[in-house]
Amino acid sequence: MSEQLGVDALDDLLLGSQLGVLTAASTFTGSMERWVSRCLAEHGPVTVLHPDEVDDTFGADEFACCVGMVGSLAAMYEMPPGGDECIEAFDELGRMIGRRPHCVAPLNAAGVNAMIAVAAAALNGVPLLDCDGQGRVFPLIDQTTFALAGLDAAPLVGVGPWGDVVTVRSPAGRAERLERFGLAGAGGWLMTALYPAPVRELAAAGIPGSLSRCRTVGAILRSGRGHIGALLARELGGRLVGRGRVAGIAEQAEHGVATVQPAQPVAVVIDRADRPGSEILIEVRNEAVLVLVDGAVVATTPDSICLVDPLRRRAVDLLDLNEGDAVDVFVLPADERWHTDAGIRLAGPRAFGVPLRHHEERR
C-alpha cells in the first residue's frame, strides 16, 4: 500500500537513518534536513511504494534508478550541494540509457542517503521505492544486493560540487573503481544516479522496507522510553551485545589483509558496565565490521553493528565519540541475501581486510 511521505515524517526518518552508521552519520549541520524539508514543501509529499506494489504499478519496460551521495560526507559539508544535482544526474542518466526512469530508490536507506533519496524523488517528481541496496551503509557502490542480483551500477552519472558531470559507461564490475577516480577530481563527493534497471528487477533485488525501518527506528529513539539498546534490538529482531563506556579509540596501522576499503582501520574499546572486567572491541573499516567480546567473535559484517548513546538516545557517530561516552552495542541481522556465499564474499569480513570466517559459519 503506497503512502505519502511528507515533511512531518522527516524527523523520524532523519533520526532512524543514523542507526548502524558510524562514519557517515549524525554530524548534521541542519542544512540537509532544511533542504529536504523545503523540497517536500515546494514539490509536495513523495509517494513511497513498497516493492510488493511495483508489479501492479509499473510495466515491465519501465525503468528505475538509485540515487545517492557517493564520497566523503565531510567534503559535502565543506562544499554543500547547490540543490539541483539530483535532477541533473537523474536527467543525464535518462539520456544515457535513452529513457527517463519512472521512480527512484535509495542507494542505501541509511545516513545522508536516506534523506537524499527523498529529495531526489520530490525534485524529479517520481515515486520512491521503499527498498535499498545495502540495508545499512557499505562504503563501495557495488556492495549491494542489486549487484548480488546481477545488476550493474553503470551506466551512472555523478554530479560534483563544482558542477562536474562524471559519467561512467563500463563493463560489469568496473564502475566502483572508475567512479572512485572521478571522486578525487570532482571534490570529494558526487551526487550519483546509478543502477538503472527495470523497476520490477530493481525492486526485487533491493532490501524491502528499508525506509520504513528508518522511520520506525526514529520513532523509537524519539519515544524517550526504556533501555534503548535492548528495545531497538528487540523491535528490529537483533540482539544486544552489551552496554559500557568507551575506553579507547585507536587508529590501527595494520589492515589485516590487503583491501580496497578507503578508510584507515579504527578500533573502539568499550569497558562493559553490565559485566565488569569484560571488554568489547569494535573494529571499524569505514563502518563497524567486527565485534569481539573478550576476544570472542560475537558479530561480523554483513550484520549491522550498531552503537547508540543511551543517554542522548541517538545513534553514535565515530567523529562525535569520545573516551568515557556511554554506549549500547547491538547487532541487527543483515538481509538473508547477504548471508549467501556471494553476499559474504562481497560484504563479509574478508572484504574489509578482516580474514575471519563469517560469524554465521561458525554458528
* Interface with other proteins, residue 323, by CB under 8 A: no
Task: Check residue 250 for interaction with other proteins (CB under 8 A).
Answer: yes
Instruction: Say which amino acid occupies 308.
Output: V
Residue with cell 558510524: 22
CB of 292 to other proteins, least distance (A): 5
* Rounded CA separation 93/90 (Å): 5
Q: Which of 225, 254, 322, 363 binds other proteins (CB under 8 A)?
A: 254
**For other proteins, which residue of 103, 140, 290, 346 counts as binding (CB under 8 A)?**
290
Shortest distance (Å) from residue 310 CB to other proteins: 22
Spell out, one character per residue from 295 to 314, where the chain touches other proteins: x when CB under 8 A holds, - when not: xxx-----------------
Distance of closest approach, residue 296 Cβ to other proteins, in angstroms: 5
Q: If binding is defined by CB under 8 A, does position 357 make contact with other proteins?
A: yes
User: Shortest CA distance to 264 belongs to which of 348, 334, 353?
Assistant: 353
Contact flag: residue 356 with other proteins (CB under 8 A) = yes
Q: Which is nearer to other proteins, 288 or 332 (CB)?
A: 288
Q: How far apart are CB 262 and other proteins at their closest, in Å?
A: 18
Nearer to other proteins, 165 or 297 (CB): 297
Q: Does 97 bind other proteins (CB under 8 A)?
A: no
- How many Å apart are CA 151 and CA 128, to the nearest integer? 19
Query: C-beta of 240: minimal distance to other proteins in Å?
Result: 20
DSSP single-letter state for residue 246: E
Is residue 292 at the binding interface for other proteins, with CB under 8 A as the rule? yes
Which residue of 267, 273, 321, 326 would you call a contact of other proteins, by CB under 8 A? 267
**Closest by alpha carbon to 133, among 353, 356, 282, 346?**
346
Work out the angle between the directed axes of helices 210-223 and 228-235 (0-180°, nearest 10): 150
Q: What gap in Å lies between CA 149 and CA 137, rounded to an integer?
A: 18
Cell 543525464 belongs to: 92
Contact between 302 and 283 (Cβ < 8 Å): no
Residue whose C-alpha cell is 563469517? 358
Residue 354 in the binding site for other proteins (CB under 8 A): yes
The single residue among 277, 322, 324, 363 that binds other proteins, judged by CB under 8 A, is 277
Task: Of 243, 213, 258, give the one whose Cα is nearest residue 308.
Answer: 243
Q: Give the number of other Cβ atoms within 10 Å of residue 62's Cβ.
A: 16
Of the candidates 214, 179, 172, the residue with the CA atom closest to the CA atom of residue 70? 179
Residue 345 binding other proteins, by CB under 8 A: no
Which residues contribute to the site for other proteins (CB under 8 A)? 247-248, 250, 252-257, 265, 267, 269, 277, 279, 281, 283, 290, 292, 294-297, 354-357
